[in-house]
Structure 1
Amino acid sequence: MEAELRDPIAAIGLDVEAVDLSVAGKRRMLRVAVDQDGGVTLDDVADATREVSRVLDESDVMGEQPYTLEVTSRGVDRPLTMPRHWRRNADRLVKITLVEGGEFSGRILTSTETTATLDVEGAEREVAHADVAKALVQIEFNRKRSLPEAEETEEDDA
Structure 2
Amino acid sequence: MATITERLTEMLAPAVEALDYELVGVEFIRAGKHSTLRVYIDHAEGISVDDCARVSHQVSAVLDVEDPINTEYNLEVSSPGMDRPLFNAAQYAQFAGEKAQVALNVPVSGKRKFTGVISQVAGDVVTFEVGEETLEVDVATIKKANIVPNFD
Normalised to the residue count of structure 2, the TM-score between the two structures is 0.54
Give the number of the structure with larger relative contact order, counting CA–CA contacts within 8 Å between residues 6 or more apart.
2
Contact 1:17-1:34 at 8 Å conserved across structures: yes
- Which one-letter code corresponds to 1:113 in the other structure? G
Segments ≥4 residues shifted beyond 6 Å: none
Matched, 1:73 2:79: yes
Shift of 1:92: 2.9
> Is there any run of 5+ residues in structure 2 with no aligned partner, and where?
1-6
Q: 1:40 to 1:112 in 2, by over 3 A?
A: farther
- Which one-letter code corresponds to 2:14 in the other structure? D
Higher fraction of strand: 2
- Which one-letter code corresponds to 1:17 in the other structure? V
Larger radius of gyration: 1
- Which one-letter code corresponds to 1:106 in the other structure? G
Matched, 1:108 2:108: no
Identity of aligned residues (%): 19
Shift of 1:19: 4.0
CA RMSD in angstroms comes to: 4.4
Matched, 1:14 2:22: yes
Normalised to the residue count of structure 1, the TM-score between the two structures is 0.52
Contact 2:126-2:139 at 8 Å conserved across structures: no
> Is there any run of 5+ residues in structure 1 with no aligned partner, and where?
145-158
**SS of equivalent residue, structure 1 residue 6:** helix
Counterpart-to-counterpart distance in 2, 1:111 and 1:50? 35
Query: Of the candidates 86, 89, 102, which is equivalent to residue 83 of structure 1?
Result: 89
